[in-house]
Amino acid sequence: MTAAAPSTVSFDGRFDSRFARELGEMAVPWQAETAPDPRLLVLNEPLAAGLGLDPTHLRGPEGLRLLTGNLVPNGATPVAQAYTGHQFGWLAPRLGDGRALLLGEITDAGGHLRDVHLKGSGRTPFARGGDGLAAVGPMLREYIVSEAMHAMGIPTTRSLAVVATGRPVLRDTMLPGAVLTRVASGHLRVGSFQYARATGDINLLRRLADHAITRHHPGAAEAGNPYVALFQAVIAAQASLVAQWMLVGFVHGVMNTDNMTISGETIDYGPCAFMDAFDPAAVYSSIDETGRYAYRNQPAMAEWNLTRLAESLLPLFHDGQEQAVALAQESLAGFRRQYSAAWSAGMRAKLGLHHDVDDDAASPLVDGLLSLLQAGRADHTSFFRGLGAAARGHREAARSLLPDPAAFDAWAERWSALSPDADAMDRVNPVYIPRNHLVEEALTAATGGELDPLKRLLDAVTNPYVERPGLDRYAAAAPADFGAYRTYCGT
Ligand code: AMP
Ligand code: MG
């Protein structure tokens, strides 16, 4: 088998079932529900090609059966994965994939192992009261937002396809059902380690950690204490990831421990959103009543989750409890440091500051700008993109977004004196993000069978940094009557 050979005849032999084989205690072999009338809504052709899957084949009847879990190729063992989750701070010991299956792993064109995972494929033993299904809208939302994140260079799970199943799903109303095919470097979560630890089986915990090292952080294997090194690698990956979210104004919405990966990829796009008006307290999820996962709380919540990971890993750190705790604390202290460094470097890039501008000059500029943005509730994305124009001497776009132009001018004088690099700014400040009103428009249309708005939105957000003619409405803020945006999870 050649890794990237396109499968033109069958998907047989393309899938491995490594997770199922190595971590059987955390994998329940399971079958997807039959999709009565599968129809392809969207297929990610470049991603398919990268996996060595022929897009034409995927579009055909056999492909649609694969993408709904109704065709299980030789070599694949679909499983529901077991994991724990601290949900809004409360422990749910036995969460697991209630409506998802890991189909198996594929070696991609770059030689990397990639999980192929189906979401919305029917009830599993972890479904509890849920119906195991997903509606077209939320699966397309994950497709749009994850592909936009990828295009911005932010680590994320990817979306290969959304297939409408032909099975209606009951939510507030009857909605068309769908299955999303998600591709990820892995589906291990903080909650996976909580689950393994809670079994009391240290051997399982060690096998899980070894699996995570091999798949995600191979450098840790070389360290004196590979498990502490694994923990530190996850800390580093999450510090960098959350900094990148903050820099583009992304609010994940449900940073429960089951929704935080060991790989450092963003996962589980439920009630997520990009901020329009800059507001540190921004919350979009209808169920986040206390604002636990508000924009500004995301770094602290990541650190909270990493503390749960540390608790789960303690027995692997050291035989002595005290020494193990000391190692965990020492490592955890690195999170704030690394997050701050990543965020500051990212803000400097957003402002186009050259490397020789020292932090004593950069920090007050950044702080001053954030105060202006917050006081003026400026549109986050438009403002930063407008700053690129300001660096070229055209201040009006950025200036017009703030209610106090004089304050902006005073700030801009100090900033311009540092000769910001406008081209560099345009490479990190996106023009096109999945704006909430555009996402809603596309999802509503797609739910009604009209796919053009989805295609146009995807075209804009998957090439986010280059301004293109005819796409003005994709760069514009929400109309005033769009109102306070709310998203709903678990649908
Ligand atoms: P999420 O909020 O998507 O991270 O999901 C949290 C947990 O609820 C996971 O264990 C999911 O598998 C499960 N879940 C969410 N929606 C459903 C559903 N409709 N049916 C069964 N399980 C679900
Ligand atoms: Mg989840």
CA of 120 to the centre of ligand 1 (A): 9
**Best mutation site among 97, 124, 126 for ligand 1 pocket (most ligand atoms within 8 Å of CB):** 126
For every residue of 308-372, DSSP letters joined together read HHHHHHHHHH-SSHHHHHHHHHHHHHHHHHHHHHHHHHHHHHHTT--TTS-HHHHHHHHHHHHHH
Identify the H or E element spanning 274. strand 273-274
The residues annotated with a catalytic role in the active site are 258
Q: Is 97 in the pocket of ligand 1 (CB under 6 A)?
A: yes
What is the predicted pLDDT for the residue at 490?
A: 45
pLDDT of residue 488: 58
Comparing C-alpha atoms, which of 319, 31, 311, 21 is closest to residue 195? Answer: 311
130 lines ligand 1 (CB under 6 A): yes
Ligand 1 centroid–CA 248 distance in Å is 27
How far away, in angstroms, is 182 Cα from ligand 2 center? 13
Is 489 touching ligand 1 by the criterion CB < 6 Å? yes
Nearest to 181 by CA among 316, 65, 277: 65
DSSP code of 477?
P
Question: Can you tell me the distance from the alpha carbon of 370 to that of 365, in angstroms, rounded to the nearest whole number?
Answer: 9
Q: Measured from the CB, is residue 434 less than 6 Å from ligand 1? A: no
Q: What is the pLDDT along the chain (491 residues), one digit of tens a residue?
A: 444 444 445 899 999 999 999 999 999 999 999 999 999 999 999 999 999 999 999 999 999 999 999 999 999 999 999 999 999 999 999 999 999 999 999 999 999 999 999 999 999 999 999 999 999 999 999 999 999 999 999 999 999 999 999 999 999 999 999 999 999 999 999 999 999 999 999 999 999 999 999 999 999 999 999 999 999 999 999 999 999 999 999 999 999 999 999 999 999 999 999 999 999 999 999 999 999 999 999 999 999 999 999 999 999 999 999 999 999 999 999 999 999 999 999 999 999 999 999 999 999 999 999 999 999 999 999 999 999 999 999 999 999 999 999 999 999 999 999 999 999 999 999 999 999 999 999 999 999 999 999 999 999 999 999 999 999 999 999 887 787 777 754 45
3-state secondary structure of 441: helix
The pLDDT assigned to 8 comes to 46
Name the closest-CA residue to atom 15, ligand 1.
490
Residue 426, pLDDT score: 98
Q: What is the Å distance from ligand 2's center to 440 Cα?
A: 21
- Which residue, 456, 376, 387, 370, is CA-closest to 428? 387
pLDDT at residue 6, rounded to an integer = 45
- For the CA of 133, the closest atom of ligand 1 is 19
pTM of the full structure: 0.96
* Predicted local confidence at residue 2, as pLDDT: 44
Is 339 exposed, middle or buried (CB count within 10 Å of its CB: 0-12, 13-18, 19+)?
Answer: buried
**Category of 370 on φ-ψ map: left (φ > 0), alpha (ψ -120 to 50) or beta:** alpha
> What pLDDT sits at residue 333?
98
Contacts of 345 (CB under 8 A, 6+ apart): none
CA nearest 381: which of 338, 430, 447? 430
Contacts of 106 (CB under 8 A, 6+ apart): 14, 15, 16, 51, 52, 53, 113, 114, 116
